[in-house]
Amino acid sequence: MALIEVKDLNFSYDENTHAVKDVTFSIEKGLYCTIVGHNGSGKSTVAKLLAGLLEKKSGSILIDGYELNEENLKVIRNKIGIVFQNPDNQFIGSTVRDDIAFGLENHCVKQEDMDELIETFAARVNMTKFLDAEPLKLSGGQKQRVAIAGVLAMHPEILIFDEATSMLDPQGKDEIKRVIRDLHKEKDLTILSITHDIEEVAKSDYVLVLDEGKLIMEGTPASIFKNEQKLTDTNLDIPYAMKLKKALEEKGVLVNPHITMEGLVKELCQLRLKK
Amino acid sequence: MGNFTLGRYLPLDSPIHKLDPRAKIMAMLFTLVAIFIPAGWIGYGIIFVVVSIVIIRAKLSFRFIWKSMKPMLIMMIFLLIMNILVLRSGDVLVSIFGFDIYTQAILQTLYIVVRLLLMVMITTCLTATTKPLDMTLGIEDLLKPFEKIHVPAHEIAMLISIALRFIPDLIDETTRIMKAQESRGVDLKEGKIKERIMAILSLIVPLFVSAFQRAEDLANAMEARGYAPGEPRTRYKVLKMTGKDWFFVGCSILLLIGMIVLMRFKV
Amino acid sequence: MSITFEKVSHIYSEGTPYEHLALNEVDLEIQEGKMSAIIGETGSGKSTLVQHLNALLLPSKGKLHILERTIEAGTQPKGLKSLRGDVGLVFQFPEYQLFEETVLKDVAFGPKNFGVSEQDAIEKARKAIHMVGLDSSFEEKSPLELSGGQKRRVAIAGILAMDPKVLVLDEPTAGLDPLGTIQMMELFKELNTKYGKTVLIVTHDMEQVYRYCDRVIVMKEGKVHIHTTVEDFFHDSKACKEMKILPPSMIQMCDLLRENGFAIPEGIHHTSELAEVIASQVVKHG
């Protein structure tokens, strides 16, 4: 059984519109999964439904075998950590230390164990130096790192990033992407990242594509990008290597689909040698 | 923003800073009560000296205290004038533009002003030496006994600490929206009444919209990290009263008793 | 009649412990009729720079010439209000400045502040709403009903309705999805080419700079570090690498191809051109 099993999930904010419509998917443990779709496609709603922050209208969500319902809510919340988009609005404590402690307090961790835990998790996101800093003194990227530490302290099995890098500058984006990648590698974490960053999608293990609340495609990045027409029809970006492939085709050069530039260049080199 | 000192925490290293917030809050309350005991000028003198000692021990400058009084000044002057003109007891001192000014009125008004000034001094002592978070912890602990009569001590403390946490963010947001509207030709300083109302609306409506957004985000973030109001949780920061703290509270109680004695003597 | 900065410095909270030199003797001339990008790290002074353009901030030192007006440090400049009409400044996340009940009323708010009559303000608002690509069905909607991208368009229309000669935008595509970003940039390009507005965009997105802008102004530590044409700036990825920013994908691709022995000439601007060059160097299938 997969770690996350979603079946016929439906949700709507009001009577007339479906924010999420008959969505079914499953995600195996340990995968780095990305969710794409343009704004308003229902990506964030799916994330909030998974984390139990919204109540589904119908369908079922199974996390690690537990059905997401009133009764299991607490168990499931402990399994899922979620990092949101806005770095300012999820910083609860008045210092980095207090912010990481907030979640520990909620989980009734013994007071004498807290300092050690706070330091461990701050170290994991490289924020040890800033433990006593106030949020005003931190950059967006640093605040998001604190948010990740705060979530990690809950020992989740699944980490959801709801456009966690979209409000950051390039440097902040890089920092966070690196932290996420490292976490995925080192710990046995399952990552669910909602993103517009096509390069991040290309490097992920599994992709879900949402459009108007419906799951329109899922699979490995390679298989998703193969269906380029469908992606462009739903106004989604494709990696540059795919764009160039298309342009090459128009000039009569046929190459295999590649997600990364390196892959495409490698094949072009072989084609050049043949000439 | 840089000139705003009322209620601001000053990160200094002093014995007063190190005191338990509960001790400071209790001492403040006792002293505030002491101020309202009519113990005459000698009483106020004693309180002033005691508070001054605390200010010096806390390494606060009197200029800082004075600055935090400034926002109150206009109010005080207004009070002063109103009182002097309205109160009619004692002897007529002078008569200006047909208004009689009475000696008793001046005296009473001065009492009020002195009380207000002392109040500002004392509260500034507390806020300048106590981190906002410690303050909320202190309030929470002090309110604990009242939980039996359904005072939500923890929720009140959480509310205050979140409010304190977001004040700087909201100030930033306000400046940003002000600048954005100024770029649309809004003049916040002058204009006809109708224009001024529009100008204020153009500031307040966006502030509310963004505050609601913030509140929603924050609620999600708190819930996602396992916060549920009313459920048991542990505390990272635990307060401990030491001998010094009790001594400090004791002093304030003595001050209060002193004032009561003084009042008795006068009568 | 352009915009020039002469040794402009800006110091925040001067004379306090929080004193901060945000602009350090900036000399800059912004060409009229062009679309320029202002790039640089967070804290490099970009936002401070653009807020001088409509006198929200005044120089601590130095002198500015903006469309026939001179603003000099230490003097109280006159005609600030008319300057704010001539230089339209759009802040980051401008959707947060909407406050009226209807889109039309909100867009007309700007011109009304400049003393335009109700009738004319509505007229200007209608035109501006059309300019940002929204049809007239939006006029009577509440701004709160709109999607994020639409709100942002309305906010930009609110500035355009003042009929500014210069349009300054602080990270106008932040938080938008890829399609929203492209539509927004197309809009600015159109305002630039079709309506002749001078456009200045503060951004981090090199892809957009490369695709839409004419000139690049690089801010670094409160100074103008580089000011050049987009062609020269993206000549190769050196300038980007020096600033630790990711160059546009096409430049990355060109570099990668060169490293692997392909002969890629300079001055390629379109993917189709690049494909052409590659096609001439490899064996074609089929």
Q: Give contacts of C 135-164 with A, CB under 8 A.
A: 147-149
Contact between C97 and B206 using a beta-carbon 8 Å cutoff: yes
DSSP code for A137 = G
Mean pLDDT of B58-70: 83
Least confident of B97-101, B133-137, C16-20, C239-243: B97-101
Q: Give the model's pLDDT for residue B219.
A: 94
Residues of C whose CB is below 8 A from A235: 178-179
Q: Minimal Cα–Cα distance from B43 to chain C, Å?
A: 38
Mean pLDDT of C216-239: 89
**Total domain count for chain B?**
1
Q: Give contacts of B 163-182 with A, CB under 8 A.
A: 164-165, 168-169
| B215 shares contact with chain C (CB less than 8 Å) | no
Least confident of B7-11, B40-44, C79-83, C175-179: B7-11
Mean pLDDT of B161-188: 89
Out of A135-144, B158-167, C241-250, give the one with best mean pLDDT. Answer: A135-144
Residue pairs spanning B and C at CB distance below 8 A: 60
Contact between A248 and C252 using a beta-carbon 8 Å cutoff: no
| C84 shares contact with chain B (CB less than 8 Å) | yes
The enclosing H or E element of A192 equals strand A190-194
Residues 6+ apart with CB under 8 A from C52: C5, C8, C10, C23, C58, C59, C64, C71
Contact between C176 and A39 using a beta-carbon 8 Å cutoff: yes
Please give the Cα distance from C83 to B185 (Å, whole number): 9
Residues of B whose CB is below 8 A from A135: 165, 169
- Which residue of chain A has the CA closest to C253? A261
Residues 6+ apart with CB under 8 A from B15: B57, B58, B244
Domain boundaries, chain C: 2-247, 248-286
Residues of A whose CB is below 8 A from B168: 136
Q: What torsion, rounded to 10 degrees, do the Cα atoms C150, C152, C156, C159 define?
A: 120
CA-wise closest residue to C37 among C165, C194, C173: C173
Q: Minimal Cα–Cα distance from A273 to chain B, Å?
A: 56
Please give the Cα distance from A198 to A159 (Å, whole number): 19
Residue B98 included in any domain: yes
Residues of A whose CB is below 8 A from B238: 111
| A88 shares contact with chain C (CB less than 8 Å) | no
What's the per-residue H, E or C state across chain B? CCCCCCCCCCCCCCHHHHCCHHHHHHHHHHHHHHHCCCCHHHHHHHHHHHHHHHHHHCCCCHHHHHHHHHHHHHHHHHHHHHHHHHCCCCCEEEEECCEEEEHHHHHHHHHHHHHHHHHHHHHHHHHHHCCHHHHHHHHHHHHHHHHHHCCCHHHHHHHHHHHHHHHHHHHHHHHHHHHHHHHCCCCCCCCCHHHHHHHHHHHHHHHHHHHHHHHHHHHHHHHHCCCCCCCCCCCCCCCCCCHHHHHHHHHHHHHHHHHHHHHHHHC
Contact between B226 and A103 using a beta-carbon 8 Å cutoff: yes
Q: Give the model's pLDDT for residue B1.
A: 38
Residue B230 included in any domain: yes
Of C13, C94, C113, the CB nearest to B180: C94
Mean pLDDT of C108-113: 94
Asked if pLDDT for residue B6 goes beyond 70, the answer is: no
Please give the Cα distance from C213 to C190 (Å, whole number): 12
Residue B126 included in any domain: yes
Regions of chain A where pLDDT drops below 50: none
- For chain A, list the contacting chains (3+ Cβ pairs, <8 Å): B, C
Contact between C42 and A139 using a beta-carbon 8 Å cutoff: yes
Of B177, B185, B198, the CB nearest to C81: B185
| A16 shares contact with chain C (CB less than 8 Å) | no
List pLDDT tens digits, range A239-250: 899 899 989 999
Q: Give the model's pLDDT for residue C2.
A: 84
Residue B214 included in any domain: yes
Residue B5 included in any domain: no
Q: Tell me which amino acid residue B102 is.
A: Y
Residue pairs spanning A and C at CB distance below 8 A: 103
β-bridge mates for residue A4, sequence order: A27, A63
Residue B115 included in any domain: yes
- Report the share of chain C in percent with pLDDT over 70: 99
Suggest the residue from A86, A98, A105 to mutate for an interface test with chain B (most B CBs closer than 10 A). Answer: A105
Please give the Cα distance from A101 to A114 (Å, whole number): 7
Q: Give the model's pLDDT for residue C119.
A: 95
Neighbours of B161 (CB within 10 A): 22
Of A84, A101, A103, the CB nearest to B217: A84
CA-wise closest residue to B21 among B129, B144, B119: B129
Q: Give the model's pLDDT for residue B267.
A: 53
- For chain B, list the contacting chains (3+ Cβ pairs, <8 Å): A, C
| A222 shares contact with chain C (CB less than 8 Å) | no
Contact between A241 and C249 under an 8 Å Cβ cutoff? The reply is no
Please give the Cα distance from A82 to B225 (Å, whole number): 8
Asked if pLDDT for residue B2 goes beyond 60, the answer is: no
- Which residue of chain B has the CA closest to C84? B183
Contact between A89 and B217 using a beta-carbon 8 Å cutoff: yes
List pLDDT tens digits, range A104-155: 999 999 999 999 999 999 999 999 999 999 888 899 999 999 999 999 999 9
Residues of C whose CB is below 8 A from A254: 284-286
The enclosing H or E element of A266 equals helix A261-274
- Which residue of chain B has the CA closest to A155? B225
Residues of B whose CB is below 8 A from A192: none
Residue B10 included in any domain: no
Mean pLDDT of C11-29: 88
Contact between A268 and C286 using a beta-carbon 8 Å cutoff: no
- Which residue of chain C has the CA closest to A199? C249
Please give the Cα distance from C93 to C152 (Å, whole number): 7
Q: Give the model's pLDDT for residue B4.
A: 54
pLDDT, mean over chain A: 92
Residue B143 belongs to domain spanning? 21-265
Asked if pLDDT for residue C64 goes beyond 90, the answer is: yes
| C96 shares contact with chain A (CB less than 8 Å) | no
Question: What would the CATH number be for the domain defined by C2-247?
Answer: 3.40.50.300
Asked if pLDDT for residue C286 goes beyond 50, the answer is: no
Mean pLDDT of C144-164: 93
Core vs surface per residue C106-137: b (16+ CB within 10 A) or e: bbbbbbbbbebeeeebbebbbebbebbebeee
Residue B181 included in any domain: yes
| A188 shares contact with chain C (CB less than 8 Å) | no
pLDDT, mean over chain B: 86
Please give the Cα distance from C181 to C199 (Å, whole number): 16
Q: Minimal Cα–Cα distance from C272 to chain A, Å?
A: 6
CA-wise closest residue to C33 among C173, C223, C186, C193: C193
Residues of C whose CB is below 8 A from B184: 84, 97, 109-110, 113, 158-159, 162
Mean pLDDT of B124-137: 87
SS3 C100: coil
CA-wise closest residue to B113 among B144, B76, B162, B138: B76
The interface predicted TM-score (ipTM) is 0.90
- Which residue of chain B has the CA closest to A101? B236
| C16 shares contact with chain B (CB less than 8 Å) | yes
Contact between B180 and C91 using a beta-carbon 8 Å cutoff: yes
The enclosing H or E element of C148 equals helix C148-160
Contact between B265 and B36 under an 8 Å Cβ cutoff? The reply is no
